[in-house]
């Protein structure tokens, strides 16, 4: 934990320090921070004046290499200052007056200057006078004299000429030489002052003591403050050359007061390295976080900030100023009144704008609805209505968008009862408490609109107890919505295979469901002017009501499935096991395709197996193929759901199976018509209901069993009633005959 903390601190330090060097450059040498324009290599420093040599042997004492030799650098500040170590001059004497040792100093900086404000030329001695001259010529020359007769004369900490002398020097000093001289070769003062010293030192660093007369306590060199600057021209000149100009984003230029060039500084409200651009350069300071200057609310701006007071308070919001104080009552009142007035005006304006907006929006909505209505065939529908071809209003109605929105609680996800390639089915509650299923198709192909409308018209007229009733439609939406009666007991698919699979569905029930479904399909195939082909007969499309009466759903509408890739996939997946094999050749679905699909439904009812299952071995995946092969090999009873067959129904089951195989014939023309299938099933059903028929092969009796044709079939259909009777009789005979 502590380790991590330490690492974090180090990392954060590293980033703040690293941010001041040129990217990719060493920002430190030993303990020295090296901000750009300084650098440790040629590429990292602005020019050779800013080159700091940092070798392993000197890493603790980084040096700058200047004309008089290597100078040790202590620290560098971006304010244009750096501290270095400068050596001192000294002169020592023997008691005889002969010089024992000592040297003067030549010290120079190529470009930079010795700070005239932060340094002092200091001389120590009791018989000493010195000169400090400009290294480069006669720009300046000054001196200092330090004398004393006795140590007792000296006042510790003062440098006014007694034992210690200090003096300033002018600006622009780029180097100096110090020469020490003596009046009497220290002969008179040798006892307590054998040596003279002279050096430039940072003001305040050196604190004179009488002990220094005997022997200077500081054996080392002295720190000196140097002023550095960029180039040797003024800002005004420097700005002219954009490539060499050193001041980057959000910074400004100042002429150096002491040195020859210029310096860059971050503008107010910014901090960073003004000689670098980007994230290492001058960046906005978030004063709100760093200074916390406001007692009110603080707002940071790019380069500045301001404080504000909450409503009802006045003041500048500054913590160190007036802050925020409560407005006095009378003022607040007038403020409130003003606010109220302005508020009312604004509100009125808003109301007007809102009203205008709503009116426009309403118009837009109406236009949109009209467009959708036209697009969805609403006009065709109206034409049909006007021509009185049918009486839509009696059986079905055109719903408005609002009605259906309300019914589905604005298409609440919780009300979704089905989803698939065709679209989404919602459960809805109409205002008159009717429960409905609302089918929201996907985008409809415009070329199929007329057909769609026709089917809506035909379907809405159909009133068959085994067909899910179409209650109406809504054409004002982008995609047409179809409203059906709600059938509450799920699908046949679920009933046979689903999780809530009812155990032991009796043979009678199966037979009834088959017969009901066949009746419905047959009715539609032979209906009205154009036969309606279902196109998607499968157990998932056969719904069951509370008394398990079959209700066929999704007529024709499946034709409107938009054929884009994904949806095709879903559709095919759902329908694959049921698809007429001839469709593969002709790409056309006919009434006989419905017969084939229905055959698969029959087999499902018989076997309790799914139409297509990838769990089964390959040859058994398609239930139809599997069933057909077993039927041929006379293994019928092996594939029939166990417990279904008993002595009483063995023959009916066999007959049912035979009918299924006929429906599954590969060639469409070999399959029976839906009407024939329906009649046969009805016959089987009655035979089952009245087992006495098997005892008595009386045709008169069986005639009684014939379905009530008038109730189911529409007159004028293609198959003559006579043929139907005949075929029914024939099959009933066969069925009963085999029953023996």
Ligand X SMILES: *[C@@H]1O[C@H](CO)[C@@H](O)[C@H](O)[C@H]1NC(C)=O
Residues at the site binding ligand X, with contacts judged by CB under 6 A: 25-26, 40-41, 53, 63, 65, 70, 74-75, 77, 83, 96-98, 103-106, 111, 133, 135, 138, 141, 149-150, 152, 154, 156, 177, 185, 209-211, 231-232, 241, 243-244, 291, 293, 318, 320-321
Two structure tokens written together for 72: 């040790």
Q: Is the Cα torsion angle 424, 429, 430, 436 positive or negative in sign?
A: positive
Measured CA to CA, the distance from residue 736 to residue 740 in angstroms comes to: 7
Q: What is the nearest approach in angstroms of ligand X to the Cβ of residue 113?
A: 13
Would strands 397-398 and 470-474 be described as parallel, antiparallel, or unpaired?
parallel
CB 604 within 8 A of CB 544: no
Q: What is the Cα–Cα distance from 611 to 623, expressed in whole angstroms?
A: 5
What is the spatial distance between Cα 417 and Cα 487, in angstroms, rounded to a whole number?
Answer: 11
Q: Toward ligand X, which CB reaches closer, 56 or 720?
A: 56
Cis, bond preceding 209 (omega within 30 deg of 0): no
When the beta carbons of 50 and 373 are compared against ligand X, the nearer one is 50
Report the candidate in 38, 37, 35, 1 with the shortest Cα–Cα distance to residue 18: 35
Closest residue to ligand X, based on beta-carbon distance:
97
Mention every residue, 6+ apart, whose C-beta is less than 8 A from residue 94. 100, 190
Q: Quick one: DSSP state of residue 577?
A: G
> Catalytic residue among 134, 212, 284, 536, which?
536
Q: Residue 21 to residues 10, 273, 399: CA-CA distances in angstroms?
A: 17, 8, 74
- CB-facing half-sphere around the CA of 369: CA atoms within 13 A: 12
Residue-level length of the chain: 740
578: DSSP letter: G
Q: Which is nearer to ligand X, 83 or 427 (CB)?
A: 83
Beta bridge partners of 436: 428, 485
Q: Is 536 a catalytic residue?
A: yes
**What is the full DSSP assignment across 207-270?**
---THHHHS-S--S-EEEEEE--BSSS-HHHHTT-TTT----TTEEEEE-SSSSSEEEEEPTTE
- Report the relative pairing of strands 435-441 and 470-474 from DSSP bridges: unpaired
Say if CB 275 and CB 263 are below 8 A apart: no
- Cβ nearer to ligand X, comparing 152 with 720: 152
Which residues contact residue 201 at a Cβ distance below 8 angstroms, ignoring those fewer than 6 apart?
119, 120, 122, 222, 223, 224
Of residues 234 and 401, the one with the C-beta less far from ligand X: 234
Judge contact between 557 and 439, C-beta under 8 A.
Answer: yes
Write the CB contacts of 554 (distance below 8 Å, at least 6 apart in sequence): 422, 468, 534, 536, 541
Quote the least distance from Cβ 350 to ligand X, whole Å. 41
Say whether 440 counts as a known binding-site residue.
yes
Min dist CB 201 to ligand X, Å, is: 14
Return the number of the residue (41 or 718) whose C-beta is nearest ligand X: 41
Binding site, by residue number, is 440
Binding site for ATP, by residue number, is 440
Catalytic residues: 536
């Amino acid at each position: 934990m502590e380790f991590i903390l330490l690492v974090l601190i180090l990392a954060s330090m590293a980033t703040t320090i690293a941010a001041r060097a040129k990217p990719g450059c060493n920002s430190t040498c030993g303990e020295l921070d090296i901000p750009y324009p300084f650098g440790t290599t040629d590429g990292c420093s602005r020019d050779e004046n800013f080159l700091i040599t940092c070798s392993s042997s000197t890493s603790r004492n980084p040096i700058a290499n200047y004309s008089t030799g290597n100078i040790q650098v202590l620290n560098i500040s971006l304010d244009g200052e750096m501290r270095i170590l400068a050596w001192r001059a000294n002169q020592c004497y023997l008691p005889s007056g002969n010089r024992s040792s000592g040297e003067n100093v030549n010290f120079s900086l190529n470009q930079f200057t010795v700070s005239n404000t932060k340094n002092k030329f200091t001389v120590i001695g009791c018989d000493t006078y010195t000169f400090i001259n400009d290294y480069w010529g006669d720009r300046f020359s000054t001196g200092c004299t330090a004398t004393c007769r006795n140590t007792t004369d000296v006042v510790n900490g003062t440098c006014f000429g007694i034992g210690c002398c200090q003096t300033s020097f002018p600006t622009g000093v780029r180097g100096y030489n110090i020469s020490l001289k003596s009046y009497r070769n220290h002969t008179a003062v040798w006892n307590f002052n054998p040596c003279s010293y002279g050096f430039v030192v940072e003001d305040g660093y050196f604190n004179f003591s009488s002990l220094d007369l005997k022997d200077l306590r500081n054996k080392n060199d002295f720190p000196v403050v140097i002023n550095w600057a960029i180039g040797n021209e003024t800002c005004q000149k420097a700005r002219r050359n954009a490539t060499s100009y050193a001041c980057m984003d959000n910074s400004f230029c100042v002429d150096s007061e002491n040195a020859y060039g210029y310096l860059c500084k971050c503008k107010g409200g910014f901090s960073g390295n003004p000689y670098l651009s980007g994230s290492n350069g001058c960046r906005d300071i978030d004063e709100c976080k760093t200074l916390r200057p406001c007692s009110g609310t603080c707002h940071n701006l790019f380069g500045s900030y301001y404080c504000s007071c909450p409503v009802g308070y006045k003041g500048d919001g500054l913590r160190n100023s007036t802050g925020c104080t409560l407005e006095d009552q009378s003022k607040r009142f007038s403020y409130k009144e003003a606010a109220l007035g302005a508020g009312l005006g604004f509100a009125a304006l808003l109301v007007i704008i809102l009203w205008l907006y709503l009116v426009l929006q309403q118009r837009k909505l109406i236009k949109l609805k009209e467009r959708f209505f036209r697009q969805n065939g609403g006009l065709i529908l109206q034409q049909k209505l006007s021509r009185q071809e049918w009486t839509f209003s009696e059986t079905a109605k055109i719903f408005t968008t609002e009605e259906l929105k309300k019914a589905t609680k604005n298409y609440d996800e919780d009300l979704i009862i089905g989803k698939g390639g065709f679209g989404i089915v919602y459960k809805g509650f109409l205002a008159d408490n009717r429960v409905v299923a609302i089918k929201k198709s996907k985008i409809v192909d415009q070329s199929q609109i007329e057909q769609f409308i026709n089917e809506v018209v035909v379907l809405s007229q159909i009133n068959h107890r085994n067909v899910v009733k179409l209650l109406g439609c809504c054409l004002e939406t982008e995609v047409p919505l179809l409203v059906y009666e709600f059938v509450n007991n799920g699908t046949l698919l679920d009933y046979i295979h689903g999780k809530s699979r009812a155990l032991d569905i009796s043979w009678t029930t199966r037979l009834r469901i088959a017969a009901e479904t066949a009746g419905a399909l047959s009715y539609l195939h032979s209906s009205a002017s154009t036969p309606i082909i279902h196109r998607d007969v499968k157990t998932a499309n056969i719904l069951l009501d509370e008394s398990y009466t079959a209700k066929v759903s999704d007529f024709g509408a499946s034709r409107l499935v938009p054929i884009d890739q994904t949806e095709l996939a879903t559709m095919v997946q759902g329908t694959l096991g049921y698809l007429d094999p001839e469709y593969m050749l002709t790409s056309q679905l006919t009434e006989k395709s419905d017969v084939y699909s229905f055959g698969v439904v029959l087999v499902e009812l018989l076997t309790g197996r799914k139409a297509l299952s990838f769990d089964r071995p390959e040859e058994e995946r398609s239930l139809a193929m599997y069933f057909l092969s077993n039927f041929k090999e006379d293994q019928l009873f092996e594939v029939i759901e166990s417990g279904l067959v008993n002595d009483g129904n063995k023959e009916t089951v066999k007959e049912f199976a035979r009918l299924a195989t006929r429906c599954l014939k590969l060639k469409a023309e070999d399959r029976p018509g839906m009407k024939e299938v329906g009649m046969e099933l009805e016959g089987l059903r009655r035979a089952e209901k009245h087992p006495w028929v098997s005892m008595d092969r009386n045709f008169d009796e069986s005639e009684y069993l014939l379905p009530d044709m008038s109730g189911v079939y529409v007159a004028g259909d293609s198959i003559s009633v006579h043929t139907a009777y005949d075929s029914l009789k024939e099959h009933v005979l066969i069925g009963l005959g085999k029953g023996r």
